[in-house]
Amino acid sequence: MRNQKETLECPHEVYNYYGSTPTSDIQQREMKKEATPRVEKMRQMYFDSKSSSSMEFPYWYTRKWEELEGEVPIIRRAEALKAGFEHLTPAIIPGELIAMRKASYLRGSYPMPWLSEAFFLAKEDELYKEAAKSGKTSADEATTMGKGGGNVTESTGNVISIAGKFGLRKEEMPILIRTAKKWFNKSVDDLGSKYEKMVPGYNTKEEIMRAVICMFDSGYTLPQGREVMNYYYPLQYGIEGIKEICRNKIDESAGYPDMDRLYFYKAVHIMLEGLQNWILNYAREARFMASLEKDKKQENEFLELADRLERISKDKPDSFRDALQLVWTFHVAVLNEDAISGLSPGRLGQVLYPFWKRDMEKGILNRDQSMELLEAMRMKFTELDCFASMGVVGGVLSGNTFNNLCIGGLDKNGDSAANELEMLILESAMSCDTPQPTLSLLFDEKLPEDFGSPVILGGE
């Protein structure tokens, strides 16, 4: 037995709670964990990149929205989303294992004036001054953004800083202002403000906002998320399968009194067409990059990626790689509709386990390849930026979009749901040191004693 003094004098050794001899070099082995070379390169590229904004999606969304004035609102919204997806410039970085992103930049995002437009209007603009009167911009004025972490805190050269974080090319600024003004008194933020004035105590609430006791109106300006997508439909039916379900539901719903259901299924069908075109644009880009590539290995990876994207644009996934790509595609597609904070992958290890297990048993996937794919997934989630006001991105989110992934827990029969894929997910979080997705362990007494031990012992 060693006493407390002896333990403190040996800081590099690990002891259990009873003061027994060190277990081995566990601590040192954990510290040496590193991401695979491919993913580490992407990780360093991320650190070297700035949060950048583009006007592609909001321009085409707003343009289509205006063209369809008088159309059923949910159909109008679906057509606007479809136009946004179809016109996004695809961007694939050589070495990427998982494609698709919100915008053409590595850390790309864009404003969503249909949600809130006041915070990125010019301060001398009359519309901005009107927003300031209601306390909407108080948190922005009190927030100071850190200069690191990829934040574009000041305008410089051909880049304009928005909300102290996002860089926008100067030539796109007039488009941003013009698009934002089209949504004045029509955005979620503005309509919410209009009706909240009817609520007793509104003036007191505004005083609280001006004092920045409350950072922002999360119920109006920023859809909160805190939800997990139902992956069952895309993984079990594929996009064409979901479209077929919509067509059948339209036939069943046509006629009074189910017209709202008809509009809904028609809107989903329209949006999925836009999603398919978005995916196929990436597939064409991958083939184009393959045609220019001189390195044979990279050329083959581009072609494999193109094949995968073409498959998942219509069919249900046939492999773990397909399933992972499809899950990510739907995740980022939802984030392209709303500036959601907290749309989480949830129990992704449960969802993807059947695909992973089948590929492992067939020998078309091994442990090292699995780790590389899971690390690549972490990088994709880390790339996500939530475009919102300075008070939100600086004072509340601080660079985090709260994507949470759960491991462990129980299955529907009450048995432990922990599996080997989840253990690799845990290990990938140690080897690829990124802020997202955050992990939650759903602990239960039925959790296997050895859950996590391969992680601690270096995956032996």
DSSP of 367-385: HHHHHHHHHHHHHHHHH--
Which alpha helices (H) appear in 156-258, and where do they start and end? 173-182, 188-196, 202-210, 218-221, 232-253
Element (H, E) at 348: helix 348-362
In a 3-state reduction of DSSP, which class is residue 346? strand
List pLDDT tens digits, range 240-274: 999 999 999 998 887 767 789 999 999 999 999 99
pLDDT at 16: 34
List pLDDT tens digits, range 309-336: 999 999 999 999 999 999 999 999 988 8
- Cα 366–chain centre separation: 27
User: Structural domain boundaries of the chain?
Assistant: 53-61+96-221
Average pLDDT over residues 90-117: 91
Q: Which amino acid is at 422?
A: E
Q: Which amino acid is at 182?
A: K
- Spatial distance between the Cα atoms of 434 and 430, rounded to a whole number of angstroms: 9
**Residue 113 — very low, low, confident or very high, per pLDDT cuts 50/70/90?**
confident
- The residue assigned the tokens 């083959």 is 300
Average pLDDT over residues 73-97: 96
- Contact by Cβ (8 Å): 164, 187: no
pLDDT at 26: 47
Long-range contacts from 301-305, C-beta under 8 angstroms, 24+ separation? 301/95, 302/92, 305/92, 305/96, 305/99
Side-chain half-sphere CA neighbours of 172 within 13 A: 20
Residue scoring higher pLDDT (386 or 54): 54
- Contact by Cβ (8 Å): 23, 16: yes
- Spatial distance between the Cα atoms of 67 and 75, rounded to a whole number of angstroms: 12
In sequence order, the 6+-apart residues with CB closer than 8 A to the CB of 237 are: 244, 245, 316
- Spatial distance between the Cα atoms of 253 and 257, rounded to a whole number of angstroms: 8
Supply angle C-alpha 379, 239, 92, rounded to 5. Answer: 35
Quick check: 457 pLDDT over 60? no
CA torsion angle 376 382 384 385 (round to 10): -160
Kindly state the tokens that stand for 351.
């969802």
Find, among 234, 437, 435, 432, the residue nearest to 333 by Cα. 234
List pLDDT tens digits, range 160-212: 888 777 888 988 888 888 898 899 888 887 888 788 889 898 888 788 877 76
**Residue 77 — very low, low, confident or very high, per pLDDT cuts 50/70/90?**
very high
In sequence order, the 6+-apart residues with CB closer than 8 A to the CB of 149 are: 399
List pLDDT tens digits, range 19-52: 344 444 444 444 557 899 999 999 999 999 998 9
- Contact by Cβ (8 Å): 61, 180: no
